[in-house]
Amino acid sequence: MIPVKNCEQDRQEIRVWCDGCYDMVHFGHANSLRQAKALGDVLIVGVHTDEEISKHKGPPVFTQEERYKMVKAIKWVDQVVEGAPYVTTLDTLDKYNCDFCVHGDDITVTADGIDTYYMVKKAGRYREVPRTAGVSTTDLVGRMLLLTREHFKGDKEYSVALEHSSNLGTDSTARSPYTGCSQFLPTTQKIIQFSSGLSPKPTDKVVYVAGAFDLFHVGHLDFLEEAHKQGDFLIVGLHTDLEVNRYKGSNYPIMNLHERVLSVLACKYVHEVVIGAPYSVTSDLMDHFKVQVVCHGLTPTARDADGTDPYLVPKKRGCFKVLNSGNDMTTEDIVQRIIRHRLDYEDRNSRKEQKEMAVVKTLQNAHVKQNGDYNEKMATDAMS
């Protein structure tokens, strides 16, 4: 008798390589990695050092240690390679047994304007996925740079502030299709793609936390990891833009609700998100989601609009916990990093766009020449 082959066992494991700066890890990075993982079985992600990024692109906002930790916490990532080379080589793919490299359809070039993926492209070991329109690290840095302008400083009517915030990052002078900001358009499909799709089992201990989670960073990450340890199923409530602006003032949030939702959903410690959660944790909310533990970090808690303690109900039920994650980073700290080095980041954004435009122009010229050669050939064939 001829033995029947087990197709699942015989199928070779497909290992996929991605690399990048992953500075200010956002849902655009996560979406690219999600798409890359879908092309194979194992996703290996290389992250560049601060030195390499500063040389080719300009100063990173986050340190390499912070960026390594952020990428490791993205739910689709299986392994992180620290200190990956800025130019992707065949030796790197072979070293980690990767079949091919995946990157978004935007432009990545060295300080000399060379395509960082030219070697793997030439070898046919390169795949491309669509970039997520409406967000980039350059765009987010631009939004924070706008926070330093005088007319964004006031603590006046939050509706007026929010009107301004919807235009953050939009630079009418930016000509590059990659540096220029387009409005992010959320869809139910995108949320489904990011969602775990899981529901708590009857025996699960459900943990609930809530907040703005604006500019998702390692402070948020360490807090969520600690909250995840308090039970079996972690639900995160995301406050609306208007609510965040009420208790944070100025021009917050920097990222809108849907951007913040996707950033949190990409975290491997999070099982579910409540979109537009009430500021106060109510009995109805706790009963509906069968919440047994409610957590908050060491950051001060603002009162609700009516002056009440937003955690009054879980405190009365005896299920409120204050967590010390050992990381006191806040969104304001990130903004301060940008403000302290404003000129460096403005120069970074400007130089990045100039390099992108040079590549765009080269591609456009090549396209025009290709069309010209084709038309000339057609005319010659017609005459012969």
- Are 160 and 282 found together in one domain? no
Does the pLDDT at position 19 exceed 90? yes
User: What's the rounded Cα separation, in Å, for the pair 254 and 241?
Assistant: 9
- State whether residue 254 is helix, strand or coil: coil
Q: Which helix (H) or strand (E) holds 354?
A: helix 342-383
Both structure tokens of 262: 């996707």
β-bridge mates for residue 59, sequence order: none
Band of residue 320 on the pLDDT scale cut at 50, 70, 90: very high
Q: What percent of the chain shows pLDDT beyond 90?
A: 56
Band of residue 166 on the pLDDT scale cut at 50, 70, 90: very low
Tens of pLDDT along 104-154? 876 676 667 778 899 999 999 999 998 776 666 667 777 776 765 533 333
Instruction: Report the Cα 253 to chain-centroid distance in Å.
Output: 16
User: What's the rounded Cα separation, in Å, for the pair 299 and 247?
Assistant: 13
Look at the alpha carbons of 360, 350, 256, 300 in this order and tell me if their dihedral is positive or negative.
Answer: positive
- Are 249 and 292 found together in one domain? yes
- Are 328 and 195 found together in one domain? yes
- Whether the CB-CB separation of 133 and 30 falls below 8 Å is answered with no
Confirm whether 298 is domain-assigned. yes
Look at the alpha carbons of 134, 139, 144, 150 in this order and tell me if their dihedral is positive or negative.
Answer: negative
Confirm whether 3 is domain-assigned. no
Both structure tokens of 182: 């387009």
Strand 272-275 vs strand 291-296: parallel, antiparallel, or unpaired? unpaired
Least confident of 126-130, 136-140, 157-161, 345-349: 157-161
The 10 Å CB-count burial string (b at 16+, else e) for 163-172 is eebeebbebe
Identify which has the larger pLDDT, 52 or 58.
52
| Structural domain count, the chain | 3
Does the pLDDT at position 186 exceed 90? no
- Are 232 and 326 found together in one domain? yes
In terms of C-beta density within 10 A (0-12 exposed, 13-18 middle, 19 or more buried), how is residue 185 classed?
exposed
Mean pLDDT along residues 348-353? 59
Both structure tokens of 351: 């130089």
Confirm whether 214 is domain-assigned. yes
Indicate the Cα dihedral angle 46, 50, 55, 57, nearest 10°: 70
Mean pLDDT along residues 342-350? 63
Least confident of 15-24, 149-158, 355-364: 149-158
Residue 248 neighbours by CB distance under 10 Å: 20
Identify which has the larger pLDDT, 376 or 215.
215
pLDDT of residue 168: 37
Least confident of 19-28, 131-140, 235-244, 351-360: 351-360
Contacts for 186 with CB less than 8 Å, ≥ 6 apart: 258, 259, 261, 262
- Are 125 and 138 found together in one domain? no
- Are 321 and 349 found together in one domain? no
Residue 130 neighbours by CB distance under 10 Å: 11
Average pLDDT, the chain: 82
Counting every residue, how long is the chain? Answer: 384
Taking alpha carbons only, the member of 40, 37, 38 closest to residue 12 is 40
Tens of pLDDT along 289-315? 999 999 999 999 999 999 999 999 999
Band of residue 205 on the pLDDT scale cut at 50, 70, 90: very high
Tens of pLDDT along 227-269? 999 999 999 999 999 999 999 987 889 888 999 999 999 999 9
CATH number of the domain residue 38 falls in? 3.40.50.620
Strand 126-129 vs strand 272-275: parallel, antiparallel, or unpaired? unpaired
pLDDT of residue 151: 30
- Are 200 and 308 found together in one domain? yes
User: What's the rounded Cα separation, in Å, for the pair 318 and 49?
Assistant: 45
Does the pLDDT at position 167 exceed 70? no
Taking alpha carbons only, the member of 77, 90, 91, 15 closest to residue 47 is 77
Confirm whether 127 is domain-assigned. yes
Contacts for 147 with CB less than 8 Å, ≥ 6 apart: 250, 251, 254, 335, 338, 339
Confirm whether 142 is domain-assigned. yes
Both structure tokens of 142: 């631009």
Mean pLDDT along residues 62-76? 97
Tens of pLDDT along 276-286? 999 999 999 99
- Are 16 and 42 found together in one domain? yes
Band of residue 376 on the pLDDT scale cut at 50, 70, 90: low
User: What's the rounded Cα separation, in Å, for the pair 298 and 323?
Assistant: 7
- Are 198 and 320 found together in one domain? yes
Identify which has the larger pLDDT, 180 or 41.
41
Amino acid, res. 53: I
Amino acid, res. 188: T
Both structure tokens of 194: 């990011």
Amino acid, res. 251: N
Residue 375 neighbours by CB distance under 10 Å: 10
- Are 231 and 138 found together in one domain? no
Mean pLDDT along residues 25-53? 94
Band of residue 344 on the pLDDT scale cut at 50, 70, 90: low
DSSP readout, 122-169?
HTT-EEEE---TT--HHHHHHHHHHTTSGGG-----HHHHHHHHTTTT
Band of residue 74 on the pLDDT scale cut at 50, 70, 90: very high
Band of residue 164 on the pLDDT scale cut at 50, 70, 90: very low
- Are 161 and 236 found together in one domain? no
Q: What are phi and psi of 244, to 5 degrees?
A: -60, -40
Q: In terms of residue numbers, what domain contains 211?
A: 188-333
Confirm whether 304 is domain-assigned. yes
- Are 83 and 181 found together in one domain? no
Does the pLDDT at position 366 exceed 70? no
Confirm whether 16 is domain-assigned. yes
Confirm whether 165 is domain-assigned. yes
